[in-house]
Amino acid sequence: MNLIRDLAELKNEVRGVKSEGQSIGFVPTMGFLHEGHLSLLREARRKADYVVMSIFVNPTQFGRDEDYEDYPQDLEGDQKKAAEEGCDLIFFPEKKDMYPPGYLTYVNVEEITEVLCGACRPVHFRGVTTIVAKLFNLVEPDRAYFGQKDAQQALVIKKMVEDLNMNVEIIVCPTVREEDGVAMSSRNKYLQPVERKAAQIIYSTLLAAREKIIAGERNAEVLRKFMWQNLSQEPLADPDYVEIVDEKKLQRVDQIQGPVLLALAVKFGQARLIDNLLVEV
Ligand code: PAF
């Protein structure tokens, strides 16, 4: 497996791969790989001739008081895990090359970035779309893989690709969970053991709300209140938002009449965890 930091070297490698008519599958990450990332790599490996993973903790998607400086990193461990999954190349650029002095250009998807996580983290999605657009330009993938855990991110990236006529197919893969239902996330590392246990309340709340919908509840406000109350039973849980939105535009719904996304963000101590469940009715 190749490890490349330099942008010109990456472009050269990509040119070589493309000239041989090989397809490129791409998994962008911020590193500290877990089973969720590895499931994306496996999916990429199934279809692509050449699999690229990027590892870059992207400063522009973190707010001023967020965890950019503390974001967990483990390049050695990541290399080993990626190699075991048959990754061909890890692209591991430096901040000074991705955002050189005088950098001025950002990509912004409107509206769907202003709700859910976008409401709590105003600069976040502009940073995500900017870095993903840059990575797409560098890696030139045929397909790129994202996790359903970050449902809003996946939707925003799909919209960017559609609106900017980018030549890449976006594949969204299922959320990978620990045995107790907690969604895998690099940020789970911040959880103290007692908080990690308490975090089970997130998925159990989503499942309980889904049960209510299956049983016939269609009033979204009733369900939001139910989810909020459920989370409040856990003293360590500090919810940021609890939402029920339509799956395409992420707009709040009053009555459930079609597929909806149950989405929530909850803080446990230092960690802010997000999760969601798509419910078809
Ligand atoms: O999901 C992530 O890890 C990041 O937001 C991404 C897509 C790699 C962009 O930095």
CA-closest candidate to residue 227, choices 245, 211, 212, 206: 206
Residue 30 Cβ inside 6 Å of ligand 1? The answer reads yes
pLDDT of the residue at 266: 98
pLDDT of the residue at 256: 97
pLDDT of the residue at 181: 98
Q: Give strand pairing partners of 177.
A: 183
**Contacts (Cβ under 8 Å, ≥6 apart) of 64:** none
Express each pLDDT in 142-171 by its tens digit.
Answer: 999 999 999 999 999 999 999 999 999 999
CA dihedral 78, 81, 82, 86 (to 10 degrees): 170
Residue 144 Cβ inside 6 Å of ligand 1? The answer reads no
pLDDT of the residue at 252: 97
* Alpha carbons within 13 A on the beta-carbon side of 190: 16
Express each pLDDT in 221-268 by its tens digit.
Answer: 999 999 999 999 999 999 999 999 999 999 999 999 999 999 999 999
pLDDT of the residue at 42: 98
- Which amino acids are annotated catalytic? 37
Residue 135 Cβ inside 6 Å of ligand 1? The answer reads no
pLDDT of the residue at 143: 98
User: Residue 30 Cα, ligand 1 centroid: separation in angstroms?
Assistant: 6
pLDDT of the residue at 20: 98
Which residues of the chain are modeled with pLDDT < 70? none
Domains of the chain (ranges; CATH) run: 2-173 (3.40.50.620), 186-276 (3.30.1300.10)
Residue 150 Cβ inside 6 Å of ligand 1? The answer reads yes
- Burial class of residue 147, CB neighbours in 10 A (0-12, 13-18, 19+): buried
Say how many C-beta atoms besides its own lie within 10 A of residue 110's C-beta.
10
* Ligand 1 atom with least separation from CA of 157: 7
Give, using CA atoms, the residue closest to atom 3 of ligand 1: 29
User: Residue 201 Cα, ligand 1 centroid: separation in angstroms?
Assistant: 25
User: Residue 153 Cα, ligand 1 centroid: separation in angstroms?
Assistant: 8
Q: Distance (Å, rounded) from C-alpha 109 to C-alpha 127?
A: 11
